[in-house]
Structure 1
Amino acid sequence: MAARPYDRTPGPHEIPETLPDHAGRGLPGGVELYLLGPDGGIVLADREGTRELGPERDFLRFIDDGQFAHYLVGDAATSPERPSNATVKLGVVSPRSAFTPHAHGGEHFVLSLGHAACGLYDPDRGRVNEVRLAPGMLIRIPEMMPHSFANRGDAPLTILAANTGYGIDHEDYAITAAEAERRASAGLVRTGLVGHGAPAVVTAAATSTSTSTSTDYQVLAAALRDIERAQRVHGIAGTTVRERLAARLRRAATALEVRR
Structure 2
Amino acid sequence: MSKRGALRALRALERLAAGLPDGAELYRLRPDGRVLRADRTGGRELGPQDPDSGLLRFIDDRQWAHYFIGDAATSPERPSNATYKLGLVAPHSAFTPHAHGGEHLVLALGPASCGLYDARRRRVVEVRLAPGTLVRIPELMPHSFGNRGGDRLAILAANTGYGIDHEDYAITAEAAERRGEPELAAALREVTAARHPGTVTFRERVAHRLRLAAAALEEGGR
TM-score range, shorter chain: over 0.9
Distance 2:203 2:58 in 1: 30
Please show how residues 135-154 of structure 1 align to structure 2 within 5 Å: 135-154=131-150
219, 225, 229: which one pairs with 2:189? 225
Aligned to 1:15: 5
- Contact 1:40/1:156, CA 8 A, preserved across alignment: yes
Give the TM-score normalised by the residue count of structure 1. Answer: 0.80
Structure 2 unaligned spans of 5+: none
Q: Does 1:33 align with 2:23?
A: no
Q: Which has the higher contact order (CA 8 A, sep 6+)?
A: 2
Distance 2:119 2:47 in 1: 39
Q: How much does 1:258 deviate? A: 1.8
Distance 2:206 2:64 in 1: 27
Please show how residues 150-161 of structure 1 align to structure 2 within 5 Å: 150-161=146-157
Distance 1:11 1:25 in 2: 24
Give SS of 1:168's match.
coil
The percentage of aligned residue pairs carrying the same residue is 65
Q: Does 1:71 align with 2:72?
A: no
Give the TM-score normalised by the residue count of structure 2. Answer: 0.93
- Contact 1:35/1:43, CA 8 A, preserved across alignment: yes
Deviations 1:158-209 (A, max 9, x none): 000000010000000000001001111xxxxxxxxxxxxxxxxxxxxxxxxx
Give SS of 2:43's match.
strand
Deviations 1:117-142 (A, max 9, x none): 00000001000000110011100000
Distance 1:23 1:52 in 2: 15
Give SS of 1:72's match.
strand
Deviations 1:7-48 (A, max 9, x none): xxx479x93373323231110111110000111111111111
Give SS of 2:15's match.
coil
- Contact 2:82/2:159, CA 8 A, preserved across alignment: yes
Aligned to 1:256: 217
Aligned to 2:95: 99
Aligned to 2:162: 166
Distance 1:47 1:40 in 2: 23
Aligned to 2:107: 111
- Contact 1:104/1:143, CA 8 A, preserved across alignment: yes
Distance 1:123 1:28 in 2: 49
- Contact 2:88/2:152, CA 8 A, preserved across alignment: yes
Distance 1:57 1:140 in 2: 32
Structure 1 unaligned spans of 5+: 1-9, 185-216
Give SS of 1:124's match.
coil
Q: How much does 1:60 deviate? A: 0.4
Deviations 1:64-113 (A, max 9, x none): 00000000000000000000001000000000000000000110000000
**Which letter does structure 2 place at the counterpart of 1:230?**
A
Q: CA RMSD in A?
A: 1.5
Q: Which stretch shifts more, 143-152 or 16-25?
A: 16-25
27, 31, 40: which one pairs with 1:47? 40
Instruction: Please state which structure has a larger fraction of its residues in helix.
Output: 2
Provide runs of 4+ in structure 1 moved above 6 Å. Answer: none
- Contact 1:23/1:50, CA 8 A, preserved across alignment: no
Give SS of 2:144's match.
strand
Q: Does 1:24 align with 2:14?
A: no
Give SS of 1:150's match.
strand
Aligned to 2:179: 183
